[in-house]
Structure 1
Amino acid sequence: MITLKNVTLRRGARVVLDGVSATINPGEHVGLVGRNGAGKSSLFALLAGHLHEDGGEFFVPPQWCMAQVAQEMPETEESASAFVLEGDARLAQLQQALDAAQHGGDGMAIAQLHADLQDAGAHDALSRAQALILGLGFSPAQLEQPVSSFSGGWRMRLQLARALMSPSDLLLLDEPTNHLDLDALVWLEAWLKRYAGTLIVISHDREFLDAVTGVTLHIDNAQLTRYGGNYSRFEELRAQQLVLQQAAFERQQDKIAHLQSFIDRFKAKATKARQAQSRVKQIERMERLAPVLASADFTFTFKEPANLPNPMLAITDAAFGYVGDDGEQITILRGVSRSVLAGQRIGILGANGQGKSTLVKTIAREMAPLAGKVTEGKGLSIGYFAQQELDVLRPAENPLEHMVRLAKDTGADAAQSREQELRNYLGSFNFSGDMVRQAVGSMSGGEKARLVLAMIVWQRPNLLLLDEPTNHLDLATREALAMALQDFDGTVMLVSHDRALLRSVCEDFWLVGRGQVGPFDGDLDDYQRYLLDESRRLREAARAAEAPPAADAGRAPAASGREQRKASAQARQQLAEKTRPLRRELEKVDARLSQLAAEKEALEQRLATSLPPAEIAECGRALKACADEIEQLEERWLELSEAIEALQAQA
């Protein structure tokens, strides 16, 4: 077990932990929580051996293998599969030893190393590594792409997969969900639930903590307190503790006041001097209880929109995507026909890479539609929170300069544009004192996110487009954002992997997938089941593609990683050729279904108006024909999907 006994830890002159004691038992899944700057990362560094205690005793069993996500950005031409596979250090060492034994012709060593490789799981190591990669949101086509070809966020996912690949007794995860979409988060959550070792995780996602942890360690005022239970249970126990602490403090204050009153009344009287002195000593001997210092949580509200057009916007038979470097149009979403009404709360769901951010950026006017129309309501005012805050922030400028420029760009009146008014406004978002002059580039991710929120609120939008707004926000700020969105009078369109935020804010859901945008009938629990089914299907397809031919099944694993990858690529190519005609037909069916859905919606809207009897009959016949064709195409869609899955299972 891990033990801390009267441990003191300093970072510079600051005491991070002051004489703390705690025990973490083998196999426990622990959530490490506390405000930003409380010392969570410092405790992690102590657990990982990067820092040493300044006092007390700290012990981790020396025989335990530890795994954690490396923070450096990998720069290598290795394939994603090979990079993650190397996370299993023992397997890599055995493989190197086998290479050396084969080079030296040592038959006994070769035989022993084959047996050791078998025991270390070499027979399915590649498929396990690729299952991790696919589970974290990569496509099968990306398995053999070089690591250097991926962006920073995707490389950090590969670092996470590499850490999960490593056999470990202790797994340390510091904000593992920051670079994940909801589909990858749900998969990681399921994986961690099955993890048999000791897990310690820092996260600001309350549903994630609730799902994967059963113990909570809370850091506050350099103290470390252990609570039995997940994060929600910790909140309950913590609230009860604070109530009891405050009640005890108030009782003690009443007692001190009573004793002090006696002292003040009788200390000058000779007959009562002894009793008064006795009460002075009684007060001095008391172990003073501290009051509950409720730190002021960050809160804010969205200003009431100047107007609420209805509908906010209408998308008609639109295609969304981008123009490549060669000038060719790359279409990601097609046949999109949706309306956004005043007051709607829309959660945008979809697997990674399906086009959620493309949809939001196009609505935000950051990109133009490739086809069709996006019609905006009169007076539409958009507040856009980009997934990467620096898309809208200038690193060299400070918060005050951002607000001054925003006031000029929006033509604000002189009263609103005064520097003191802007300073006061920034202060309401916790940018006070010298922080208003601090360069944005030197700020933390949470501070940048708060500045973007401040700029959005100041503009009084009536449509909020929020693309992963919680990535760098702590739990308190996430709660403040949820409360502000609940009270917002306008329309919200939200992309987020924070399920607590989605549950508390959104009433309708859109699903982005297979090149389409449509309503999702169900709640987030239904969507999580959908994502897990999709992830399972991808893993099975990858496993089937990697299965060795029957004639080779009895061979012992050898240094054949390149041959396995070549065979895997050939198998995927053969599978792609077999399924290509089916997929083309499936795309045509998808496109026709989207077209019919738009026609059906238009007919239903016509029937909702006052029409002559002849037109009502005509619309009714057209609506029935439309419904019949939709039913036939949906059956064909299922047949095609089952046929593709059958081929994948046979591959």
Structure 2
Amino acid sequence: MIVLNQLSLRRGVKLVLDHADLTLHAGEKVSLVGRNGAGKSSLFALLTGKLQADAGDFSPPPRWRVAEVAQEMPETAEGATAFVLQGDTRLMEAQARLAAAEATQDGHAIAEGHAGLAEAGAFDARPRAQALLLGLGFGSAQLDAPVHSFSGGWRMRLQLARALMCPSDLLLLDEPTNHLDLDALVWLEAWLQRYEGTLLVISHDREFLDAITRVTVHLEDAKLTRYGANYSGFEAMRAERLSQQAAAFSRQQDQIAHLQRFIDRFKAKATKAKQAQSRVKALERMERIGPVLSQADFAFSFREPGQLPNPMLVMRDMVCGYRLDEGRDKPVVHGITRSVQPGQRIGILGANGQGKSTVVKTLAGTLGALGGTVTQGKGLAIGYFAQQEMDVLHPESGPLEHMIRLAKQVSPQAREQELRDFLGQFRFVGDMVQQPVGSLSGGEKARLVLAMIVWQKPNLLLLDEPTNHLDLTTREALSMALNSFEGTVMLVSHDRALLREVCDGFWLVADGAVRDFDGDLDDYQRWLLEQSRERSRAAATAAAAPASGGTAEQSGANRREDRRAQAQARQKLQEQLKPMKKELAQVEARLATAQAEQEAASARLGDPALDGARRAELGRQLKALGEEIDTLEGRWLALSEAIDQATAEAAAA
């Protein structure tokens, strides 16, 4: 277990921990909560040995393997799967030992090296790495794409997959959900629930914490307080604790006042001097209960819109997508015909890559529609929160410069002091209003974008992942502001608590279309899990599905024509799949043979009568078989994906 005993830790002049005590038991799943800047990441650095305690004792378990998500953005041409594989430190160590043995031609060491590879799970490591990538939202075509071809958010997913790949006793996750869509978030929850080691996670997603943790550690005023509950339980227990402390403080203040009145009244009287002096000593000995200090929570509100057009937006056969450099159009979502009314609260759902952000960008006007029309109501004022805040911010400019530039467009009469006061409501005070945005934290950038939106007095809010980098307090302030907003809200978010609290209806972006989702978020999570299984069932479903019958009015000739067309389509599909299925069968057969040869060679290595030359030869054979198996497994995965995709497309048609 992990034990902190009277531990103190400083970062510069700031006291992060002051004689803090904490015990975490093996296998516990723990959330670390506290305000931004309280020192949560510093505690992680202490656990990984990057920081040393200034006082007290810290005793990590010996020989524990610790895994964490690296924060630097990798810049390499290495493939995604190979990059994630390097997170398996045990496998990397086994490969290094084997390489050293082969360099010295030590037959016995080569044999031990191959045995070490088997113990490290080398023969199924590549499929395990690819399963992590697929679960986190990568497509099959991206599994071997170079790391530098991915955007920043996707590279952080690669770092997360690499941390999960590491065989660890302690897993440290600092805001792992920031760059995940809801489908990847649901998958990660399921993975972490199965994780057998000790988990310590920092997150501002309350539903994520409730789903995976059973212990909450609160960092406040340089002290650590352990609660035996998930986040919701922690909130209830802490509220009760604060209530009891407030009551005890009030009672003690009454007692102190009573004693002080007696002392003040009788300290000058000789007959009562002894009693007065005893009460002075009682006051000095009294252990004072601290008051419940209510730190100022962040709160804001959207200004009342000047008008509410009805309808706000009207879409007719709208096509959303991108115009490529060579002039071709790449449609992502098409045929959108619907309207947006005043006062609606719409949550936009959809699996990763289906086009949620593309739809929002098109409605916001940052992308032009590729087809159809989108008509804005008269007087429409859009407030757009981009998923990447820097899309609307200038890194070299400070918050005040951003507001001055915005005010010239929206309200030219605004004075600088008025803008400074307004920024103060969003915690930008003093010299901070001049600080370049590029040097601000993610949460500070998000607050600045919110401030800029509020100033514009929008009547339609288009919010694409607004909670990335926001702490729980700011998320709650955003939820309250949205609920009191009189205009219309369209929200893309992986924060289920925000979606539940704000939205009263959902759109689903899937299969290139937008439709109403008839259900709640629990239904949607079940739908996501079902979608992850759908490809494996697609072939059987397509084969077993009966030919569709016609309506009562449809003639027998039409039904026969339908059946003939369906039969032709099935025959065409089988002809298309035949060479892939044949190759898949050949790959499976060779894979089974290679694995059998591998097992036999591994067994022969255990023969003590083998000489060094024979051991070395067997080692080389095992290495060649391992490489062949890796290649075969990769080809098997690619063929299976291609067959599933072709079958699913045929079934959808």
Match of 1:162 in 2: 162
Q: Distance in 1 between matches of 2:431 and 2:103?
A: 65
- TM-score computed with the length of structure 2 as normaliser: 0.85
Aligned match of 2:595: 553
SS of aligned partner of 2:468: coil
Does structure 1 residue 15 correspond to structure 2 residue 12? no
Deviation at 1:555, TM superposition (A): 3.0
Moved more, 106-115 or 362-371: 106-115
For residues 510-569 of structure 1, the C-alpha deviation after alignment (integer angstroms, 9 at most, x for no partner) is 11122111111221112112222333557999xx98966333331326356764564456
Give 1:115 deviation, angstroms.
3.3
- Shifted more, 507-516 versus 28-37: the winner is 507-516
Q: Which residue of 1 aligns with 2:216?
A: 216
Instruction: Work out the CA distance in 2 between the residues paired with 1:526 and 1:183.
Output: 13
Q: Counterpart of 1:479?
A: 476
Question: SS in structure 2 opposite 1:144?
Answer: coil
DSSP 3-state at the match of 2:394: coil
Larger CA deviation: 115-124 vs 78-87: 115-124
Residue 492 of structure 2 is aligned to residue 427 of structure 1: no
State the alpha-carbon separation in 2 of the partners of residues 578 and 261 from structure 1: 87
Is 1:500–2:513 an aligned residue pair? no
**Percentage identity across paired residues of the two chains:** 64
Instruction: Output aligned runs, 1:376-395, within 5 Å.
Output: 376-395=376-395
Tell me the distance in 2 between the aligned counterparts of 1:167 and 1:6.
Answer: 31
Evaluate the alpha carbon distance shift between residue 53 and residue 14 of structure 1 in structure 2; reply closer, same or farther with a 3 A threshold.
Answer: same
Q: How many residues align?
A: 583
Cα distance between partner residues in 1 of 2:536 and 2:140: 9
| 2:330 paired residue number | 330
Q: TM-score w.r.t. structure 1 length?
A: 0.85
SS at match of 1:555: helix
Whether the 8 Å CA contact 1:345–1:492 is kept in 2: the answer is yes
Does the residue aligned with 2:483 lie in a helix, a strand or coil? helix
Mapped partners of 1:357, 1:560: distance in 2: 45
Distance in structure 1 (CA, Å) of the matches to 2:142 and 2:625: 20
- Give 1:296 shift: 1.2
Query: Taking structure 1 as reference, are residues 503 and 53 closer, same or farther at Cα in structure 2, changes over 3 Å only?
Result: same
* Partner of residue 444, structure 1: 441
The equivalent residue for 1:595 is: none
| 3-state SS of 2:319 partner | strand
Amino acid at match of 2:475: R
Once superposed, what is the RMSD of the aligned Cα atoms?
2.2
Q: Which amino acid aligns with 2:296?
A: A
The C-alpha deviation readout for 1:322-374, integer Å capped at 9, x for no partner, is 11122221111122222211111111111111111111000000010011111
Q: Is the CA contact (8 Å cut-off) linking 1:135 and 1:539 kept in structure 2?
A: no
Q: Give SS of 2:597's match.
A: coil
Q: Tell me, yes or no, if structure 1 residue 354 matches structure 2 residue 354.
A: yes
For residue 641 of structure 1, what is the aligned residue in structure 2? Answer: none
Separation in structure 2 between the aligned mates of residue 581 and residue 449 of structure 1, nearest angstrom:
42
Residue pairs, 1:116-131, within 5 angstroms: 116-131=116-131
Task: Specify the code of the residue in structure 1 equivalent to 2:371.
Answer: A
| Alpha carbons 1:187, 1:535 under 8 Å: kept | no
1:170-207 per-position Cα deviation (integer Å, ceiling 9, x unaligned): 11111111111111111111100010000001111111
Equivalent-residue separation in structure 2 for 1:502 and 1:47 (angstroms): 34
- Residue aligned with 2:463, SS: strand
2: CA distance between counterparts of 1:133 and 1:315?
36
Alignment check: 8 A CA contact 1:95 1:559 kept? no
- Cα 1:321–1:440, aligned 2, differ >3 Å: closer, same or farther? same
Q: Note if contact 2:500-2:521 (Cα within 8 Å) is conserved in structure 1.
A: yes
Q: Which amino acid aligns with 2:492?
A: V
1:518 alignment counterpart: 515
Contact 1:99 1:559 in 2 (8 A): no
For 1:153, give the aligned amino acid.
Answer: G
Conserved 8 A contact 2:343-2:489: yes
What whole-Å deviation, never above 9, does each CA across 1:381-425 have from its counterpart, x for those lacking one? 100000111111112222222222111112x262xx022222222
Mind listing any 5+ residue stretches in structure 1 that lack a counterpart? 590-651
Could you list the runs of 5+ residues in structure 2 that have no partner in the other structure? 539-580, 599-621
Paired amino acid for 1:365: G
Compute the displacement of 1:484 (Å). Answer: 0.8
The residue number in structure 2 matching 1:254 is 254
Alignment of 1:36-47 (within 5 A): 36-47=36-47
Identify the residue that residue 344 of structure 1 maps to in structure 2. 344
Q: Secondary structure at the match of 2:262?
A: helix
In the alignment, which residue of structure 1 is the partner of 2:306? Answer: 306
SS state at 1:517 partner = strand
Q: Which secondary structure does the structure 2 equivalent of 1:470 belong to?
A: coil
For 2:74 and 2:67, locate their aligned partners in 1 and report how far apart those are by CA, in whole Å: 17
Counterpart in 2 of 1:275? 275
Which runs of structure 2 are paired with 1:36-435 in the superposition (5 Å)?
Answer: 36-101=36-101, 106-410=106-410, 412=411, 414=413, 417-435=414-432
**In the TM superposition, what is the alpha-carbon distance from 1:138 to its structure 2 partner?**
0.3
Q: Contact between 2:32 and 2:218, CA under 8 Å: does it hold in 1?
A: yes
After TM superposition, the structure 1 stretch with the greater mean CA deviation from structure 2, 94-103 or 263-272, is: 94-103
Instruction: Give the aligned residue type for 2:339.
Output: S
Contact 1:4–1:20, Cα closer than 8 Å, also in 2: yes
Corresponding residue of 2:573: none
| 3-state SS in 2 of match to 1:218 | strand
CA spacing shift, 1:457–1:513, aligned 2, 3 Å: same
Q: Which residue of 1 aligns with 2:525?
A: 528
